[in-house]
Amino acid sequence: MRFLALLLLCLCCKVASQAQSQYVPLNHFSYHNVDRLNIKYGKILPIVRTVIKPYKRVTVANLPDTLGDNGITLNKRDQYNVRNMLWDSNEWVEDSVIKSRNPILKFFYQDPATFLGVDSKGFVVKVNPVLQFELGKEFGADPNALIFKNTRGVELRGSIKKRLSFYTFITDNQSRGMQYVRRHIQDEQAIPGEGYWKTFRVTGIDHFSARGYINFNLLDHVDIQFGHDKNFWGNGYRSLFLSDYGNNMFFLKVQTTIWRISYTNLFTEMTASYDRGGDRLLPKKYAAFHHLNFHIAHWLDIGLFESVVFERENGFEFQYLNPIIFYRSVEQSLGSPDNSMLGIDFKANIARRFQLYGQFLLDEFNFGQIVKLNGWWANKFALQAGLKYIDAFGIANFDLQGEANIVRPFTYAHNTTASSYTHYNQPLAHPLGANFWELVGIARYQLLPELTAQMTFVYYQKGLDSTGQNWGGNIFVSNVDDNRQLTVQQEFGNTIAQGIKQKVALLDLLISYQAFHNLFVDLNIMYRASKSALARYDGSQAYVGVGVRLNMAWRGNYF
């Protein structure tokens, strides 16, 4: 039942005639381009709510027209980026037909971004192969073991009369990551960003990845998306609300946009924490999310966030389907069994060069305990602050980003492992879970239209738990035991990064050359150093690798 009843209700309603497109996959180069154009625009973009990702293709395709009306001058590299964005979503470019000069055998690559396409009487289908091959060496590790990625698959998207759109992405993957990634997979029994997996050649990983959804308009200003995919809510490198770090999830998303207000409802069915073993039905859990975004001024966005994570033996808690109610009030009326959170975010564009952004998430607090400054364990919150600076120091296409994230101990955890802020043995928000502080720095320079270099620096301190002790870093650990007694190590005097302190510094350089449209040749150099009293978390690794990508976004394991 669960989502089926709600889906049937949506399908039975009249679908409006507004154009409805698929979404640009997360981590695609379009996201950085939209950021640059947004800041250059100087005001909050009227057609893109950047806090809610992914973006609709039709929105990205129409963005250059909006910018052109504002008199923005673009250099050759920006023009190249805009052209690539339009090529990738060309079916949504108004009054324009983008065709290749020399299609292959008359059928393949009739437009530069589509391997094989059909456009007939309002029915559009585009099919592209997906490939990624990477081979590298980790220094200091097993000299006979190579680091590699091997991905093959297909991406298919289409639309019917521009009223109903669909998308699917399927890949078969084998990989062997760096030593710290392999240790993480072993400890958490999960691959970052993926679901089911099995061992490949002793130390490698084999997994099948699939995403897919349909989307349409319910009313003139209401969009519906239904399927399996990822979501990212925030303007930063990390998100403290909802990130794409974890596995794909089953969801129904409703987005309503009227005037300066955008309101997003997300209802999900997820997988609770589990131990790997034989084939069986994995335990389910559920969540509901709201986000209200308001253009409070031409340069300022403010957002309000709330969520609730819960488990039920008989399925979804239908009271949480109310799209406009305050979740905490429902949760309290049910007896406070669930994990509810509140948050606020903002984005401010300044002087057409800068963008300030941030998030504040409140899990639980007691004002009286906060005033006492006594480190009470249940004062749980997370804070993010960041700055983007484009064309830094007057250098064209040299962009900087700095970000700080702080999450107090025990944040995101709850009274049961099923109601923790997790999915498929992975955090729903920040990869590090809780009980840490982190600094992130990113420098990106587009030297030539086809050539881009990006340096990513991450430094964090996190408090790890020792055997039998709960210092608040592991969000999968319940706050109470079976007898409803607290499992926390201490009720007062809790501080960020308490417990066994782990210090990690990571430096990653990615140089990418786009040889043909969406075909990238990559050079990746990475160094990671970790210091901890636990021997298995202590040490350093260096990596050098080369690879090629076709219709595949780059994604690093930065934790």
d(CA 465, CA 335): 31
d(CA 17, CA 12): 15
Whether residue 13 is predicted with pLDDT greater than 70 in this model: the reply is: no
Banded pLDDT at 526 (limits 50, 70, 90): very high
pLDDT at 358: 98
Q: To the nearest 10°, the Cα dihedral for 80, 83, 87, 89?
A: 120
User: Residues 58, 21: contact at Cβ < 8 Å?
Assistant: yes
Asked whether residue 558 is assigned to any structural domain, the reply reads no
What is the full DSSP assignment across 342-387?
A: EEEEEEEEETTTEEEEEEEEEEE--HHHHHHT---TT-EEEEEEEE
In terms of pTM, does the model score above 0.75? yes
pLDDT at 140: 76
What are φ and ψ of residue 79, in 5° steps? -60, -40
How distant, in Å, are the alpha carbons of 135, 270, 271, 284 from that of 198? 20, 20, 18, 21
Domain that holds residue 514: 2-550
pLDDT at 307: 94
d(CA 118, CA 127): 9
User: Residues 532, 555: contact at Cβ < 8 Å?
Assistant: no
Beta strands in 260-350 (DSSP E): 261-271, 284-297, 300-310, 339-350
pLDDT tens, 495-513? 999 999 999 999 999 999 9
Whether residue 7 is predicted with pLDDT greater than 60 in this model: the reply is: no
Q: Which residue's entry shows tokens 């958490």?
A: 188
Query: Once rounded to an integer, what is the mean pLDDT over residues 339-359?
Result: 96
Q: Which residue's entry shows tokens 């592209």?
A: 128
Beta strands in 494-559 (DSSP E): 500-516, 519-532, 539-550
Query: Once rounded to an integer, what is the mean pLDDT over residues 129-155?
Result: 89
Banded pLDDT at 2 (limits 50, 70, 90): very low
pLDDT tens, 360-396? 999 987 777 777 788 899 999 999 999 999 999 999 9
Total domains present in the chain:
1
Task: Kindly report the average pLDDT of the chain as a whole number.
Answer: 89
Asked whether residue 556 is assigned to any structural domain, the reply reads no
User: Residues 237, 403: contact at Cβ < 8 Å?
Assistant: yes
Whether residue 17 is predicted with pLDDT greater than 90 in this model: the reply is: no
- Chain CA centroid to CA 347, Å: 18
Provide the 10 A C-beta neighbour count for residue 280. Answer: 7
Locate 191 and state its tokens.
Answer: 């691959």
Whether residue 316 is predicted with pLDDT greater than 90 in this model: the reply is: no
d(CA 204, CA 174): 7
Whether residue 12 is predicted with pLDDT greater than 70 in this model: the reply is: no
Banded pLDDT at 96 (limits 50, 70, 90): low
d(CA 127, CA 113): 10
Cross-strand partners of 442: 401, 456
pLDDT tens, 228-286? 999 999 999 999 999 999 999 999 999 999 988 999 999 999 999 888 887 888 899 99
Asked whether residue 557 is assigned to any structural domain, the reply reads no
Query: Once rounded to an integer, what is the mean pLDDT over residues 220-226?
Result: 91
Asked whether residue 559 is assigned to any structural domain, the reply reads no
Query: Once rounded to an integer, what is the mean pLDDT over residues 305-326?
Result: 85
> For residue 60, what is the domain's CATH number?
2.40.160.100
The counts of H helices and E strands in the chain are 7, 25
Asked whether residue 196 is assigned to any structural domain, the reply reads yes
Q: Name the residue with higher pLDDT: 195 or 335.
A: 195
